[in-house]
Amino acid sequence: MVASHQGLAQRVSDAFWRRPRLLLLVLLLPPLLWLGVVYVGSLFALLVQSFFSIDEFTGLINYEVTLKTYAELLQPANFDIILRTTLMAASVTVAAAIVAFPIAYYAARYARGPMKALFYLGVMLPLWSSYLVKVYAWKLILAKEGILNWMVEGIGASAVLNAVLSMPVIGGGSLSVSYIGTFLVFLYVWLPYMVLPVQAALERVPQNLLEASGDLGASPGQTLRHVILPLALPGIIAGSIFTFSLTLGDYIIPQIIGSSRLFIGQAVYAHQGTAGNIPLAAAFAVVPIVIMGFYLWMAKRKGAFDAL
Amino acid sequence: MKKVLISTTILAFAGAGLAQAQMTEVGPGEGQLDIVAWPGYIERGETDAAFDWVTKFEEASGCKVNVKTANTSDEMVALMNEGGFDLVTASGDASLRLIAGKRVQPINVDLIPSWSTVDDRLKDAAWHTVNGEHFGTPYMWGPNVLMYNTEAFGDSPPTSWNVVFEEVTLADGKSNKGRVQAYDGPIHIADAANYLMFHKPELGITSPYELNQEQYDAALNLLRGQRELVNRYWHDAFIQMDDFKNEGVVASGSWPFQVNIMQGEGQPIASVVPEEGATGWADTTMMHVDAPHPNCAYLWMEHSLASNLQSDLSVWFGANPSVPAACTDGRGMQTAEGCTKNGLDDFEKIKFWTTPVSSCASQGECVPYYRWVSDYIGVIGGR
């Protein structure tokens, strides 16, 4: 009875109190709209495009649902691109995990005070400077007449470098035009995304478990394998999701460093635009989504998310 | 879908009606002018105080110039389709699309006093003239030259594109393998076709942009051989310059822009338009069919031909003026030697860029551009 005499704000407040779900709806509506329309909507528009095809003769888009464009992905030249990108992403991820683990372990278990600050600074600093600047800097470092080659020559190891570069597939004229160069730059650029989650996971490993393992007679190696690694796995998986998906989608690094062979991102860029082959570009864009979906599914099966 | 179709049809008819209406007189400026342009094309002295061809125009006409830069021809076409702009500096691959899409209007050259000073070879160029109507004024043009390192070539500078297409031993005694580059865009297939046009006349290529299946396959084969020689394809002008300096690259197709900058740095670099001729680009100032400020647009087109623009832009961009007098009459900084360096005398050797389409003039059916894209990706990938 009293409520009817009160102001609008009061009545709205009462309505929310009586129907908690209404409040929830009002609060969730803006982010849901954002996610639904802007995020999923654009993704859906892309997916739809990939089911159309391009007319062989006129170059116009044929708006009939077909799987023809996906079949085109299996053509050798296109399949090469998918394989190349996935292999690169996988090797970058494995290498990043191997390099990041000792760094993260030291930072989580041993570094104290100023050393810890230095660690955070060291890992974060590269993230503060522009991505492009870092990639261009690496181009200069890896160049044939760059500082790395000069150093290698200085210590008389040119023969070793040349032997590495003369290997088929991964070799090339110089580090900067070979897959090794592309790999090194990817590794450098995405490493912080692996170090930080691994470090966070390692910090949560309780000290008393390690002590118990030692008391029960486990060697340090056994403790690492059976206690630390399993407990740090969620961190490694989280990091690997970053490094893997970032490498899958990147189209700038392979354009500046490497042998000009295309990666998925570059293929998408090349097919839209003047070529007007939006269906094929969309089909290419779906590939990383599928690969990542598969990857997450595998990670879940391996129990990587159990600890979350 | 049907609704969209109907509205596009209506738009197309409306466009067709408007496209016929040429202006008959230029009134006073409307106070504003919106131009879609390539980066570096419209300078008001803000990048470098010496390069300014806007301020004086604004003072004289009262038209405040707004520039929207676009990085690709596709962006330009998209912006013009969106509307709200007066002018665009369209390249050969965009201009015909804009005309076909009725996004630009024919211009009345009688309203542009300096039209008579335009290079006669550009006045009726196919990329802006359709059925005798001019859809814009020529802006700038330039060749894709063969840039080379003078130390590697010594006393025998290259005279043919073969140094980038086939394995040869250079004057310094080493092979060109791993020391040459090619452009990282499908349009490079045209460069290969241009080379074959000269060396394999039996293929019967008449235009490097109009290739039938057989001619196209021959060009792709040539490019597959080139892949063995090329360590990295170039995409960005500054990365290419870096590769010439730090990566041991000694020859590549390139633009006068890179040549001028590297010569300015004292690098041992020179360029040539080889015996086979070369591909090139030519841009046109085109006017939107619904230009909101038509008088300012006409005033600018006149300004673009008459003022220091042609001369100074030619220095700034390493391109050639569409008004040959701009090289010599001292209206800006360009000189006769500078124009020669930018390739002014090579006009006849240049095949200007157009988009390859399936229905081509010379032989009925040609390989369209989207296949150039997918096949060139295969070539770079080693297929």
- Please state the ipTM of this predicted complex: 0.74
SS3 B100: helix
- Provide residues of B within 8 Å CB-CB of chain A: 1, 72-74, 93, 178, 184, 186, 230-233, 235-236, 239, 242, 245-248, 355, 357-358, 365, 368-370, 372-375, 377-378, 380-383
* Interatomic CA distance for residues A182 and A139, integer angstroms: 10
Q: Is residue B71 pLDDT above 60, yes or no? A: yes
Reported as a pLDDT band with limits 50, 70 and 90, residue A308 is: low
Least CB–CB distance from B231: residue in A145, A177, A267: A177
Q: Where are the beta strands (DSSP E) in chain A?
A: 53-54, 61-62
Burial label for A106, CB within 10 Å (0-12, 13-18, 19+), is middle
pLDDT in tens, A148-167: 989 998 998 888 888 888 88
Question: Could A59 and B370 be called an inter-chain contact, meaning their C-beta atoms sit closer than 8 Å?
Answer: yes
pLDDT confidence of residue B34: 95
Tens of pLDDT along A97-110?
A: 999 999 999 999 88
Q: Among candidates A190, A189, A191, A169, which has minimal Cα distance to A258? A: A169
B178, B245, B382 ranked by CB distance to A173: nearest: B178
**Mutation choice for A interface testing from B72, B232, B252, B372 by most A CBs within 10 A:** B232
Higher local confidence (pLDDT), B7 or A18:
A18
All residues of chain B having their beta carbon less than 8 Å from the beta carbon of residue A261 are: 380-382
What confidence score (pLDDT) does residue A105 get? Answer: 93
A274, pLDDT greater than 80: no
Contacts of A258 in chain B (CB under 8 A): 232
CATH classification code of B143-279+354-380: 3.40.190.10
What mean pLDDT is predicted for residues B268-297? Answer: 93
Q: With an 8 Å Cβ cutoff, are B242 and A140 in contact?
A: yes
Domains of chain A: residue spans and CATH: 2-45 (no CATH), 75-301 (1.10.3720.10)
Q: Which pLDDT belongs to residue A273?
A: 65
> Any idea of the CA torsion for B240, B246, B252, B256, to the nearest 10 degrees?
50
- Residue B121: Cβ-neighbour burial (10 angstroms; 0-12, 13-18, 19+): middle
Name the residue with higher pLDDT: B75 or B57: B57
Q: How many CB atoms lie within 10 A of CB B245?
A: 17
Band of pLDDT at residue B82, cut at 50, 70 and 90: confident
Q: So what's the pLDDT on residue A57? A: 60
pLDDT at B4: 41
Distance from CA of B317 to the nearest CA of A (A): 24
Contact B373 A59 (CB under 8 A): no
Query: If you measure CA to CA, which chain B residue comes closest to A84?
Result: B381
Contact list in A for residue B239 (CB cut-off 8 A) is: 139, 256
pLDDT score for A169: 81
Whether A76 sits inside 8 A of B378 (CB atoms) is: yes
Among B369, B372, B380, whose Cβ lies nearest the Cβ of A260? B380
Q: Predicted confidence band at B3 (pLDDT cuts at 50, 70, 90)?
A: very low
- What is the three-class DSSP state of B67? strand
Q: Cα dihedral angle (B104, B110, B113, B117), rounded to 10 degrees?
A: 80
Please give the share of chain A, as a percent, with pLDDT higher than 90: 41
- Is pLDDT at B1 greater than 70 in this prediction? no
Which one is predicted more confidently, A305 or A158? A158
Is A57's CB within 8 Å of B358's CB?
Answer: yes
Residue A4 is predicted with a pLDDT of 52
Instruction: Say if B2-142+281-349 and B143-279+354-380 have the same CATH topology.
Output: yes
pLDDT for res B17: 40
Helices (H) and strands (E) in chain B, counts: 15, 15
CB contacts of A76 in chain B (<8 Å) are: 378, 383
Higher pLDDT, A186 or A43: A186
Side-chain half-sphere exposure of B342, counting CA atoms within 13 A: 26
Would the pLDDT of B9 be above 80?
no
Report whether pLDDT(A72) > 60.
yes
Percent of chain A with pLDDT over 70: 94
Domain B2-142+281-349 has CATH 3.40.30.10: no
Residue B213 pLDDT > 90: yes
Q: What's residue A5's pLDDT?
A: 58
- The four Cα atoms B238, B239, B240, B243 give a dihedral, to 10 degrees, of 130
- Mean pLDDT value across chain B: 87
In chain B, domain spans: 2-142+281-349, 143-279+354-380
Q: What's the predicted TM-score (pTM) here?
A: 0.78
Q: Which of A260, A268, A272, A284 to mutate to test the interface with B (most CBs of B within 10 A)?
A: A260
> Which residue's structure tokens are 């046109």?
B284
User: Closest Cα partner for A45 from A287, A279, A298?
Assistant: A279
Option in A173, A262, A274 nearest B355 (CB): A274
| Residue B380 to chain A, least CA–CA distance (Å) | 6
Nearest CA in chain A to B77: A274
Could you tell me how far CA B125 lies from the centroid of its own chain?
13
For β-strands B269-272 and B145-149, DSSP reports them as: antiparallel
- Give the percent of chain B with pLDDT over 90: 55
Cα(B250)–Cα(B262) distance, integer angstroms: 13
The predicted pLDDT at position B224 comes to 95
* pLDDT winner (highest mean) among A182-196, B39-53, B354-368: A182-196
Q: What is the pLDDT of residue B256?
A: 84
What is the H or E stretch that residue B58 is in? helix B55-61
Shortest distance, CA A150 to any CA of chain B (angstroms): 12
The string of pLDDT tens digits covering residues A209-252 is 989 998 999 999 999 999 999 888 888 998 999 999 999 999 99
pLDDT score for B6:
42
Mean pLDDT confidence for B84-99? 88
Q: Which residues from A are below 8 Å from B370, CB to CB? A: 54, 59, 271, 275-277
Q: How many CA atoms lie within 13 A of B120 on its CB side?
A: 0
Widest distance between CA atoms in chain B: 68
Query: Taking CB atoms and an 8 Å limit, are B246 and A140 in contact across chains?
Result: yes
Count interface pairs A-B at CB distance under 8 A: 103
Q: What tokens does B134 get?
A: 């001019």
pLDDT digits (tens, 9 = 90+) for B224-264: 999 999 999 988 888 899 999 999 999 999 988 888 889 88
**Nearest chain A Cα distance for residue B376, angstroms:** 10
Structure tokens belonging to residue A237: 């998986």
